[in-house]
Amino acid sequence: MKNVFSHCPRILAGLNRLMATQTNMTVEQTIRQKLQETFQPKFLEVINESYMHNVPKGSETHFKVVVVSEKFDSQPMIKRHRMVNEVLKDELSSGVHALSIMTKTPQQWNESGNNIGKSPPCRGGAGL
C-alpha cells in the first residue's frame, strides 16, 4: 500500500516517531532486530545518518547498514540489496527516506579489512 503522506517529510517523520513509540523501539532498533533475525550476521552495523541531513533533530530517516552474512554466499550484490530492502520494506514505506546498504560475505569482509568507510556529505537534495 502506497503511503499517502510520502510527499511530506515532516508528516512522515511524525508517523515514524509514532510507530516507534507504539512498539517501544526506535526505528534503528527495529532495523537492527529485523536484520539480525533474518540474516544471523557475523557483523551488523546500523548507523543513523539523519544528523547529516536537513531533518529535525532526533529524526530517524537516513540509515546506513552493514550486513555480513553467510546468507549472501553466491548472491550477486543486487540480489543482496533486494533481500535487505525486502526485510525493511515497512520502514522504507513509513519514514525511512534513505538507506545505504553494504552487504558482504564473511570472506569478503575479512578480505576488505573490515572497512565500512565514511558516507559522503549530504548535498542537500539539489545535487550541487
Of 11-20, 45-54, 81-90, minimum mean pLDDT range: 11-20
How many Å separate Cα 93 from the centre of its chain? 12
Question: Which pLDDT band holds residue 1 (cuts at 50, 70, 90)?
Answer: very low
Q: Rounded CA gap, 99 and 38, in Å?
A: 17
- Domain coordinates of the chain in residue numbers? 9-111
Strand order in the sheet with 98-104: 43-48, 62-68, 98-104
Verdict on whether the full-model pTM lies above 0.85: no
> pLDDT at position 114, please?
79
For 9-111, give the CATH class.
alpha beta
User: Cell match 544471523: residue?
Assistant: 40
Q: Rounded CA gap, 98 and 102, in Å?
A: 13
Q: Which of 28, 33, 87, 29 is nearest to 60 (CA)?
A: 28
Identify each DSSP E strand in the chain by its residue range: 43-48, 62-68, 98-104
Does the pLDDT of residue 6 top 70, yes or no? no
Mean pLDDT score across all residues of the chain: 82
Does the pLDDT of residue 104 top 90, yes or no? yes
Q: Which of 123, 115, 128 is nearest to 62 (CA)?
A: 123
> pLDDT at position 17, please?
53
